[in-house]
A = this chain, B = another copy of it.
Amino acid sequence: MIRERVDTGHSRYEILIGTGLLGQTGQLLLELSVNRSSRHLIVTDEQVRAAGHLTPLLASLQAAGYEAELFVIPAGEASKRLELAERAFEFAYEAGLDRRSVVLALGGGVVGDFAGFLAATYMRGIPFVQLPTTLLAHDSAVGGKVAVNLSSAKNIIGAFHQPLAVIYDIDALSTLPLREMRSGYAEAIKHGIIRDAELFAWIEARTEQILANDPQVMAELLARSCRIKAEVVSADEREHGVRAILNFGHTIGHAVESLAGYGRLRHGEAIAIGMICAAELSVKMGLCTPDAAEAIASVVKAAGLPTQIPRDLDADELLSSIKRDKKATGGTLTFVLMRAIGKVEIVKDVPEKLVRDVIEDRRES
């Protein structure tokens, strides 16, 4: 088992990465001093339940003397909405969850965001544990950002709520469809781009093993990628400064994901397109050389991720969505742009014209 430490100043927790960890969760909760007199809540989705990941978790909780209720949501981004959260709050309350209860988020980013939002706001905040079952969730599970969506925009309603622990059983990844693996892969590529050129090169050389879920390569990838995320989050828990670099590729990516309609593009697919656009915008701004942008497009392509904006998405609508993005402050266009692989920075007052050019160039013809 690999252990990575996160320390945000306000809270400290560990990311545990290894095989067979779902079957050790009860024991790990005992080590974390989670009490056995309160009832707890497992939140998961139908797909994760169908994949069988609940079985070892439930057995290990029971063996350790824990009682847990189960709330299952439909798989997919559409579950991240207040109406479903309200049903979950009612369920938790009726089940007698109290302020010492713990929410266990078993699943991908949607489950983590949704269950984390429940934990952040149920009785003004109870602890939660992330049990990621996807590659993509290595990103969302670390850092404490939790949220649900408005119908018009992602993650508008949320909180910063750090987990008690992240328990990452890489066995769970073996049931992932290839398209899901690829989607998660995009965030690992991003972590290389924003802070670690060596990681980027390491990933570039191991695309096949990663997509084939080679256990050793996967454990190292997750540990390295989580470490970068943890470093950035530790330096800036509430996104007042450096944490914003984690949004590399997300400004255009979110707009593409949202306008395409949730569910049509995977999050990582939209972010892959967004990273290529951000890199090309960096070139147009004179911040980096074209070969750095080409290297990103090439890794994205090798991973089987999309490289172009769907043709039916309109540049005007994308721009207007970008302007309303919560990263915008006071109406100006702010982007995370690249100096080189491994080095990015926050650039304010990016000319709208250049953003439009990049979008037009990257639309399917």
Contacts and interface: CB of A to CB of B under 8 A. Distances in A.
Interface of A: 35, 37-38, 82-83, 85-86, 89-90, 93-94, 96, 98-100, 120-125, 145, 147, 150-153, 155-160, 238-239, 324, 326-331
**Copies of this chain, how many?**
2
Nearest to A85: B82
Contacts of A89: 150, 156-157
Given A89-B157, A90-B152, A157-B89, A124 B147 contact: yes
A90 B124 CA distance: 22
A158 B35 CA distance: 23
A100 B332 CA distance: 13
B90 A150 contact: yes
A291 B40 CA distance: 43
15 contacts: A82-B86, A93-B324, A94-B152, A96-B324, A98-B328, A98-B329, A99-B327, A100-B329, A121-B121, A121-B157, A121-B158, A121-B159, A122-B156, A122-B157, A125-B238
Given A86-B82, A86-B150, A96-B324, A37 B330 contact: yes
Contacts of A147: 124
A74 B327 CA distance: 32
Contact of A158 (B98, B124, B145, B160): B124
Scoring A93, A145, A327 by chain B CB atoms within 10 A of each residue's CB, the highest score goes to A93
A127 to B, nearest CB: 12
Given A85-B82, A93-B324, A331-B37, A159 B100 contact: no
A161 to B, nearest CB: 9
B35 A330 contact: yes
